[in-house]
């Protein structure tokens, strides 16, 4: 046993490299999952998992995902911030996988802010 | 934390916040000795000497968003309630090494949990950081190194969703394999 087999990656590489040139352009939407100790303890990893699955399905080249530390609002974790170019960033609170899917499908893809889950406009 | 893999995610995050470019994660399960050890090493800024002695005090933290830092305190408590030990050494400018050991079959030991998800979350959130992961299970070992994956990907970013889903499946398969399940 030993290393992860990387042979399969070659097939994947061909598939992905077609889309690559498109992604070079600046991303217009940034989704940040806050993963401090507080976020992680309350389920930020499941939120990130759900988000990456949505990202794969959506296959959009202008969306970028990143992780960051704690927002300072530990009691409302997991927090997710969605920033769409030209609009104020929206911070969401008490996120879970389901809410993440809804925020992604409605806010990230369609621009409809999900006020029920929102913590603040920043 | 419900899983030890969540502690690992948290401690890796500490290293990244400290400016590390490489995080080494080492998990060693020795069933014959009934131990599980977790080691996380980063090449970040290190912890100032004045701080290292009471770094596991929840009210000692470098953060500025709030005045408590729970990460290391929680990990230490998790190890110590399982007849384990916690150690941290750090050299300024070189990095930090955190070590926790656990009695493998201790009733209070949280399961290791979803390691593939922890690794993929790190890659998704911090694609510029390199991760070296070694998992030993009763002598069998699995290693995963993002530097090798990167070389293979030939310019495709590590956080490409299709790449991450693929890696997650592959890591899970390999870990199941060394655990014989």
Q: Give the DSSP letter string of B43-94.
A: -S----HHHHTTTTSTT--S-SS-S---HHHHHHHHHHTTT--EEEEEETTT
- Reference B16, options A69, A80, A65, A47; nearest CA is A69
Nearest to A16 among B149, B156, B170 (CB): B156
Show residues of chain A in contact with B156, CB under 8 Å: 13, 16-17, 20
pLDDT above 90: residue B120: yes
A11's CB contacts (< 8 A; 6+ apart) are none
ipTM: 0.88
The dihedrals phi and psi of B140, each to the nearest 5 degrees, come to -80, 145
Binary contact (B160, A16; C-beta < 8 A): yes
Domain ranges across chain A = 27-121
Superfamily (CATH H level) for A27-121? Glutaredoxin (3.40.30.10)
CB-based contact A33:A65 (threshold 8 Å): yes
CATH number, domain of B66, equals 3.30.565.10
Task: Convert the pLDDT of each residue in A58-73 to its tens digit.
Answer: 988 899 999 998 888 8
* Closest CA–CA distance from residue B34 to any residue of chain A (Å): 22
Residue A30: closest CA among chain B residues belongs to which residue?
Answer: B125
The confidence score (pLDDT) of residue A16 equals: 72
Structural domain total, chain B: 1
Nearest to B6 among A15, A40, A56 (CB): A40
Q: How many residues belong to chain A?
A: 122
Confidence of residue A7 (pLDDT cuts 50, 70, 90): low
DSSP string spanning A89-104?
-EEE-S--HHHHHHHI
The confidence score (pLDDT) of residue A56 equals: 92
């Amino acid at each position: 046993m030993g290393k992860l087999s990387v042979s399969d990656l070659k097939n994947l590489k061909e598939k992905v490299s077609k889309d690559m040139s498109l992604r070079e352009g600046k991303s217009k939407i940034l989704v940040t999952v806050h993963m401090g100790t507080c976020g992680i303890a309350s389920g930020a990893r499941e939120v990130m998992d759900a988000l990456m699955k949505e990202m794969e399905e959506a296959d959009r080249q202008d969306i970028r995902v990143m992780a960051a530390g704690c927002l300072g609002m530990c009691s409302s974790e997991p927090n997710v911030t969605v920033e769409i170019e030209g609009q104020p960033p929206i911070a969401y609170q008490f996120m879970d996988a389901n809410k993440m899917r809804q925020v992604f499908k409605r806010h990230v893809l369609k621009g409809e802010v999900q006020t029920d889950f929102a913590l603040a406009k920043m | 934390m419900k899983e030890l893999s969540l502690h690992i995610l948290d401690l890796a995050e500490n290293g990244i916040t400290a400016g590390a470019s490489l995080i080494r994660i080492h998990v060693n399960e020795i069933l014959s000795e009934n131990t599980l050890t977790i080691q996380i090493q980063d090449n970040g800024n290190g912890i100032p000497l004045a701080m290292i002695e009471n770094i596991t005090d929840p009210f000692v933290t470098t953060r500025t968003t709030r005045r408590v830092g729970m990460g290391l305190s929680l990990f230490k408590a998790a190890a110590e309630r399982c007849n384990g030990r916690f150690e941290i050494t750090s050299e300024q400018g070189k990095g930090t090494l955190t070590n926790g050991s656990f009695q493998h079959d201790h009733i209070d030991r949280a399961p290791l949990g979803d390691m593939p998800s922890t690794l993929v979350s790190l890659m998704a959130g911090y694609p510029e950081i390199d991760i070296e992961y070694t998992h030993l299970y009763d002598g069998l070992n699995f290693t995963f190194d993002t530097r090798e994956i990167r070389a293979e990907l030939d310019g495709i970013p590590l956080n490409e969703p299709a790449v991450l889903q693929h890696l997650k499946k592959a890591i899970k398969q390999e870990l199941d394999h060394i655990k014989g399940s």
